[in-house]
Amino acid sequence: MKRSLDNATLVPFFFVLVLAILPVVFLILLSFSRGWTWPDIFPSSFDARAWRYVMSPHSGTWQSIWTSLKLALITTFINLFLALPAGNALGRYEFPFRKLTEILLMLPILVPPVVILMGLHRTFIRLSITETLAGVVLAHVLPTLPYMIRSVTVSFSKLGFEWEEQAQLLGADWSKRLFHVVLPFLMPGIIAGSALTILISMSQYVITLLVGGGQIITVTMRMFPYVNGGDQATGAAYAVLFALVALILLILLDLSLNRLYREKRL
Amino acid sequence: MELRMEKIRKKISAGADFVMDIPLLEVGKGEFFGLVGKSGCGKTTLLKIIAGLMTPDEGSIYLQEKEITGLAAEKRGIAMVFQQDRLFPYMNILENVAFGLKMKGLSKKERYQRSSVFLSAVGLSGFENRYPLELSGGQRQRIAIARALVTTPPLVLMDEPFSALDPNLRKEMRDLVLDLHREYGMTILFVTHDRDEAFYLFQRMAVMKEGKIIETGSPRKLYESPGKIHTAHFLGIENIFEGILHYDRFSTSHFSMKLRALSPEKKKGVLVIRPETIGLGTYPFPSDGEGNILEGQITGMNYSFGILHIKVNTSQSCSFDLTCTNQYKDLKEGDRVFLSFPAGELVFLPEEKE
């Protein structure tokens, strides 16, 4: 059951909301500004120059959005493929060094991924997968997989074995158990893990640059020089675009999966 | 025979190590059969072996004369109700009940029609669109029963289905299961460690101990003439005394009594005295010709549901539990009383060899 907020939780909630919304509001203002200097509270004049550039075909924006999407989705699928068996083992089975294994699988995010990748880079070059989509996908799996494993593991430990036993006794063979019992139970974990993967993958800069060698251009890659190099309006426009793409992707993910498995009151 | 198990062996190593060993267990068609015993005696394991969730190391299982030993659980068509309701939380009540029919590939219309029949059989029609977490524990267990019965399985296994429920609800649920059994005539194999439940429900039952079936029979027969000490213990008889039978006299260091049993040579064993067979008087009985009369002092009294439970010490270290209807309103602790033991009700069990 969901409860309604009382005042004690409402005040901090409001505070957090302001903290979350204010930067976005300023980003949108910035993207439409033509020079916004101290001590003005609001930009002195507006125009749509930055947006016109970002939306124009020769800016390569659409291509980079598509690249970002491709990267994020392929990374998510690979993560699922790897994390489901791992989560099953970690969440439902007892074996020697289980806890240690869990910690080891967390290592890629405990150690900064860039550091690991610096070492991996030579191997990638030897395998000649640098400057390819495959290489970048592989590099994106590194910092995202631990999150996926973590959330799927929790779901598996909640699932246990008893639900499958029950379904079996009601005549469900393994494929029906997978479809009617296992997947619905794992869905919250899969959604959480996928959302994290998509967001983290989309916001990678250094890793994409390093492995992609400037050949794989994501939205973040397009945005970075502008944020860094002085054209703040264009940088802000890219940032807003980035947020929109991520938001739409998350909403679609949530809707489609919930539609598939009418997920109620779990 | 609806269910027959032959020479089942299974090594169990959960907590206590022992080997389950069932030479033969038969349950007739339409029978309400109980498996009773203390927790950890292997009764749930036996149920899981029948259901197909565990495989025996040796032996064979037959359902309706067809061997099912190696058959996957989902192909056996045996239903099972667990201690927890195990309703799928993301499905509504109707979908939950209809799940078994869906797995069988019945059309939606047919599924829902049959499910509503069983929903009303457990008294919960109108709950179709609710979700499990909106229901009380008792209601959820009713749904679990409906879900198990909806496919009209030849055999329904129940593993202490009511032990997680409120005691007041249990009687209601027992009556419900008895009604359903009467109406649909399915074979039920019911596991419990609760002897009240055993007496209330079962036509026949098997008493288990450490993976073995000690004795089988109707609850009444097992209570009135137990063949094993463990059975008497399990059914709550506390007057069990070790001693020696010689001819027709049974003697302990505290008393000696005349029995109907006879043994020409001295035989070690125990005497089992059911508490309701002991006669109680406040002044000396006229001799009954058998001399089975003892004098003692009331050391404890307890009244429940019209029955008096009295504890009488006949000597420093020898006491009897007895029950009687509430006709002795004036008795109180410390009173001196006389006990009589009808020879025909005394059960002698020879010493058991391990």
Let me know: does A81 contact A146? Beta carbons within 8 Å: no
Picking from B133, B206, B151, B144, the residue whose alpha carbon sits closest to that of residue B176 is B144
Per-position b or e across A52-68, b if 16+ CB within 10 A of its CB: ebbeeeeeebeebbebb
List C-alpha distances in Å: B79 to A126, A198, B50, B148: 59, 43, 10, 5
CA distance A67 to A204: 13
What are the start-end ranges of the H helices in chain A?
7-31, 49-55, 61-92, 98-110, 113-126, 133-159, 162-169, 174-177, 183-202, 206-212, 219-229, 232-260
Q: In the predicted model, what is the mean pLDDT of residues A1-20?
A: 81
Instruction: Using CA coordinates, name the residue in chain A closest to B95.
Output: A180
Instruction: Using CA coordinates, name the residue in chain A closest to B104.
Output: A171
CB contact under 8 A, A265 and B74: no
CB contact under 8 A, B82 and A162: yes
Average pLDDT for chain A: 87
Q: Is B219 buried (19+), middle (13-18) or exposed (0-12) by CB count in 10 A? A: buried
Does the pLDDT at position A264 exceed 70? no
User: Does any CB of chain B come closer than 8 Å to the CB of residue A94?
Assistant: no
Tokens of B80: 């099972």
Q: Residue B75: its chain A contacts at CB < 8 A?
A: 171
Q: Residue B100: its chain A contacts at CB < 8 A?
A: 170-171
Distance from CA of A192 to the nearest CA of B (A): 18
Tokens 């590194």, residue? A142
Q: What is the pLDDT along chain B (354 residues), one digit of tens a residue?
A: 888 888 888 887 766 678 888 888 889 899 999 999 888 788 888 999 999 998 888 889 999 888 888 888 888 989 999 998 899 988 889 999 999 999 988 898 999 999 999 999 888 888 888 999 999 888 999 999 999 999 989 999 999 999 888 888 888 899 999 999 999 889 999 999 988 899 999 999 999 988 888 899 999 999 988 888 888 888 888 888 888 888 888 878 888 787 777 777 877 888 888 888 888 877 777 666 667 878 888 888 888 888 888 888 887 778 888 888 867 777 778 888 888 888 778 888 887 765
Q: Suggest the residue from B87, B94, B103, B129 to mutate for an interface test with chain A (most A CBs closer than 10 A).
A: B103
Parse chain B into domains and list their residue ranges: 3-234, 239-350
List C-alpha distances in Å: A101 to A76, A139, A232: 22, 21, 45
CA distance B334 to B310: 11
Checking DSSP bridges between strand B32-36 and strand B187-192, what pairing results, if any?
Answer: parallel
The pLDDT of residue B308 is 84
Show which residues on chain B lie within 8 Å of chain A, measured between beta carbons.
51-53, 72-75, 77-80, 82, 84, 86, 88-90, 92, 99-100, 103-104, 131, 133-134, 147, 151
Q: Which helix (H) or strand (E) holds B13?
A: strand B3-14
The 10 Å Cβ neighbour count of residue A30 is 20
The pLDDT of residue B321 is 87
The pLDDT of residue A26 is 87
Nearest CB among A172, A184, A265 relative to B133 is that of A265
Q: Suggest the residue from B99, B102, B140, B143 to mutate for an interface test with chain A (most A CBs closer than 10 A).
A: B99
List C-alpha distances in Å: B176 to B83, B136, B187: 16, 16, 15
Let me know: does B37 contact B43? Beta carbons within 8 Å: yes
Distance from CA of A169 to the nearest CA of B (A): 5
Distance from CA of B170 to the nearest CA of A (A): 22
Instruction: Using CA coordinates, name the residue in chain B closest to A174.
Output: B74
Domain A59-260 in CATH 3.10.50.40? The answer is no
Let me know: does A212 contact A125? Beta carbons within 8 Å: no
User: Does any CB of chain B come closer than 8 Å to the CB of residue A162?
Assistant: yes
CATH number of B239-350: 2.40.50.100
Enumerate residues 6+ apart whose C-beta is below 8 A from B184: B149, B152
The pLDDT of residue B35 is 92
CB contact under 8 A, B86 and A266: no
CB contact under 8 A, B74 and A169: yes
List C-alpha distances in Å: B122 to A16, B172, B285: 50, 11, 53
CB contact under 8 A, A184 and B53: no
The pLDDT of residue B159 is 92
Instruction: Tell me which amino acid residue B100 is.
Output: G
What separation, in Å, do the N-terminal and C-terminal C-alpha atoms of chain B show? 31
Tokens of B285: 């009985």
Domain B3-234 in CATH 3.40.50.300? The answer is yes
The pLDDT of residue A202 is 92
CB contact under 8 A, B79 and A263: no
The pLDDT of residue B353 is 67
CB contact under 8 A, B73 and A266: no
Distance of CA B121 to the CA centre of its chain: 25
Q: pLDDT, tens digit, for every residue of A85-121? A: 999 999 999 889 999 999 999 888 888 878 888 888 8
Strand partners, B293: B340
Q: In the predicted model, what is the mean pLDDT of residues A152-159?
A: 92
Q: pLDDT, tens digit, for every residue of A180-195? A: 999 888 988 998 899 9
Parse chain A into domains and list their residue ranges: 1-47, 59-260
CB contact under 8 A, B100 and A184: no
Q: Is A152 buried (19+), middle (13-18) or exposed (0-12) by CB count in 10 A? A: buried
Instruction: Using CA coordinates, name the residue in chain B closest to A187.
Output: B90
Q: Which of A42-56, A72-86, B225-239 reaches the highest mean pLDDT?
A: A72-86
